[in-house]
Amino acid sequence: MNSILVDSGTSPQIVPADHPLVTSTDRGFTYGDGLFETIRVLNGQALFLNRHLRRLASGLTLLNLSIPWNAVTLTERIQQLIAANQMTEGILRLTITRGSGPRGFGIPAQAQPQLIIQAAPLPPAPPPATAILVPWRTDPASPLSQLKSLSALDKVLAKDFASQAGVTEALFINLNGNLSEATSSNIFIVQHDQILTPAVSEGVLPGITREVLIEYALAWGQRIIETAITPAQLTTASEAFLTNSVSGPRPLIGFEGQAIGTGQPGPITNILAQEYQQLCETVSQPTK
Amino acid sequence: MNSILVDSGTSPQIVPADHPLVTSTDRGFTYGDGLFETIRVLNGQALFLNRHLRRLASGLTLLNLSIPWNAVTLTERIQQLIAANQMTEGILRLTITRGSGPRGFGIPAQAQPQLIIQAAPLPPAPPPATAILVPWRTDPASPLSQLKSLSALDKVLAKDFASQAGVTEALFINLNGNLSEATSSNIFIVQHDQILTPAVSEGVLPGITREVLIEYALAWGQRIIETAITPAQLTTASEAFLTNSVSGPRPLIGFEGQAIGTGQPGPITNILAQEYQQLCETVSQPTK
């Protein structure tokens, strides 16, 4: 995991991970003007890569940012970095910035986007999570709510707010008072044997694991409904869980100092976590 | 303007402006986890520098980010860069990032903040501005509303929204429906011979030019009131203007396709712009 890939549009280079790469006029650095994807690697394969690249493409369109790499090229770059690091398991971060530009927020007519792909080891499976509410509200009408962007200081501050309160996660609420997501994961609750998750229209980053669960749940004997969810519903849920690409479904067992359900990982969460892990193993088989 | 100053806590270095400086694990780059200040240089002096450094210090406290440079050291670094670029006039950008950290939003216990100071020429005085409303709302309770942060993609998108509508600026409104600020400036309106500006509690970055105007206005025979302002009040204002450290008071002559007042720069705006420019000349005299 000691090397990273960088590409300014001409040709990719593999360089040491601690190499200074970004100029101080790159808008990714100056204004957080760029996007990233966090991708799990299993059995040497980048999991659900096409879905990640599709979401990335949607985000770039919202940013009015056109890049010189198509999905095929990005896939090659990722495979090149996996090979360079001899990764079988781990996490990739793919970052695209708008590139250098003059001072000012206006989007420059000419800019050369930068691509950086980094590798990190897979962290140990996290313990069940506990959460509190973020003390400010977000607007689902903001394009930022749909973007996995480099402008993530709100998430840094929310995560720190949770840490200082002694819990693992902070949940954002929107200006309608409904739950949207956690700092780096989507949220699901189980209520009357139904699985609910906030609809994208509530101001939710459309997570890849979220998308996969919604699509595969029926095959696993479950049904996931996208809807509006209030914090009060979380309090009375029989179980809850968080999802992201790094750790899959993760039990959420406490909220605002109270246990959710029994205060233990719930049976439906456990089923989904097992099925999801099995799916990851299946789709990462090289013979596929 | 071809060199920049960089300091990782040990000793400052002057390097070429296009030098790659930032590693891809720097949280300023990965998460927009850092702050900046935009400072005007006149007669070789960094204008209102103590005010800028005071605001920076407040922001760093909100971020729980402690830096190894005090105001004296930062002032020395700035003077060093002004000398290296032989600047008499121009714009400085001082950036502080939290430094490198492992993957994840949580604030690392150990991090080495980075200081980067850049120089740019003073842009020509901009023409009078026109504006529209940003189509999403912000929460004044978010700490981000008080921070001049590297997570500025909302401002990039708002500015682009304005450009696409053929106007120069976009005005943010908060979830109470009141005006807060423009993408890189504070807003003031004139109504019944009173000058009004949104209070900081409306979710306003406390601009340095804003602060200076509020303090000096009485000496110039004017009075500025910090309050809540609705978009409807802007429509019926007799004049309006924007302020930032780069261009001082700038007339705002149109809003949502309609003229503000006569559609020309107003007399009170002109007085304040002249007085402010005179103040800048006075405080930048080396003999002072």
pLDDT at B287: 62
How many whole angstroms separate alpha carbon A246 and alpha carbon B80? Answer: 45
Classify burial at B116, counting beta carbons within 10 Å of its beta carbon; exposed 0-12, middle 13-18, buried 19 or more. Answer: buried
Q: Where are the beta strands (DSSP E) in A100-232?
A: 114-120, 129-138, 169-174, 179-182, 186-191, 194-198, 224-227
Interface test with A, best of B105, B115, B159, B181 (most A CBs within 10 A): B105
B244 at the A interface (CB within 8 A)? no
Closest chain A residue by Cα to residue B162: A106
Binary contact (A18, B26; C-beta < 8 A): no
Alpha carbon of B91 to those of A29, A251, B97, B122: distances in Å? 18, 50, 20, 6
Instruction: Give contacts of B27 with chain A, Cβ < 8 Å.
Output: 156
Classify burial at A112, counting beta carbons within 10 Å of its beta carbon; exposed 0-12, middle 13-18, buried 19 or more. Answer: middle
Interface test with A, best of B60, B115, B156, B173 (most A CBs within 10 A): B156
The count of residues in chain B is: 288
In this structure, how many other beta carbons lie within 10 angstroms of the beta carbon of residue A192? Answer: 7
pLDDT at B63: 97
Distance from CA of A252 to the nearest CA of B (A): 18
Q: What is the CA radius of gyration of chain A?
A: 19
Interface test with A, best of B6, B24, B246 (most A CBs within 10 A): B24
Binary contact (B154, A139; C-beta < 8 A): no
Classify the C-alpha dihedral A134-A140-A144-A145 as positive or negative: positive
Alpha carbon of A281 to those of A1, A219, A221, B71: distances in Å? 22, 17, 20, 55
pLDDT at B19: 87
pLDDT at B2: 80
How many whole angstroms separate alpha carbon B284 and alpha carbon B288? Answer: 8
Q: Which residue, A282, A233, A265, A17, is CA-closest to A128? A: A265
Task: Give B 51-90 residues with CB within 8 A of chain A.
Answer: 63-64
A91 at the B interface (CB within 8 A)? yes
Mapped to the 3 state alphabet, what secondary structure does A236-282 carry?
HCCEEEEEECCCEEEEEEEECCEECCCCCCCHHHHHHHHHHHHHHHH
How many whole angstroms separate alpha carbon B47 and alpha carbon A220? Answer: 65
In this structure, how many other beta carbons lie within 10 angstroms of the beta carbon of residue A10? Answer: 8
Binary contact (A22, B21; C-beta < 8 A): yes
Structural contact between residues B156 and B170, judged by C-beta atoms closer than 8 angstroms: no
How many whole angstroms separate alpha carbon B159 and alpha carbon B150? Answer: 16
pLDDT, average across residues A91-120: 95
**HSE on the CB side for B184, CA within 13 Å?**
24
Beta bridge partners of B169: B131
SS3 content of chain B, % helix, strand, coil (to 5): 30, 30, 40
Instruction: Give contacts of A102 with chain B, Cβ < 8 Å.
Output: 120
Distance from CA of A128 to the nearest CA of B (A): 17
Strand order in the sheet with B114-120: B13-16, B3-7, B114-120, B90-97, B34-42, B45-46
> How confident is the prediction along chain B (288 residues), in pLDDT tens digits per residue?
788 999 988 789 999 988 888 899 999 999 999 999 999 999 999 999 999 999 999 999 999 999 999 999 999 999 999 999 999 999 999 999 999 999 999 999 989 999 999 999 999 999 999 999 999 999 999 999 999 999 999 999 999 999 999 999 999 999 999 999 999 999 999 999 899 999 999 999 999 999 999 999 999 999 999 999 999 999 999 999 999 999 999 999 999 999 999 999 999 999 999 999 999 999 999 764
Out of B17, B151, B155, closest to residue A154 by CB:
B151
Out of A36, A139, A150, closest to residue B137 by CB:
A139
What's the one-letter identity of residue B253? Answer: I
How many whole angstroms separate alpha carbon A176 and alpha carbon B24? Answer: 37
How many whole angstroms separate alpha carbon A57 and alpha carbon A208? Answer: 14
Q: Which residue, B187, B156, B169, is CA-closest to B129? A: B169
Structural contact between residues A96 and A60, judged by C-beta atoms closer than 8 angstroms: yes
Q: Which residue, A156, A140, A248, is CA-closest to A204? A: A140
Instruction: Give contacts of A63 with chain B, Cβ < 8 Å.
Output: 153, 157
Output the average pLDDT for chain A: 96
**HSE on the CB side for B287, CA within 13 Å?**
2
A28 at the B interface (CB within 8 A)? yes
In this structure, how many other beta carbons lie within 10 angstroms of the beta carbon of residue A271? Answer: 15
Closest chain A residue by Cα to residue B118: A24
Instruction: Give contacts of B144 with chain A, Cβ < 8 Å.
Output: 153-154, 157
Instruction: Give contacts of B183 with chain A, Cβ < 8 Å.
Output: 105
Instruction: Give contacts of B117 with chain A, Cβ < 8 Å.
Output: none
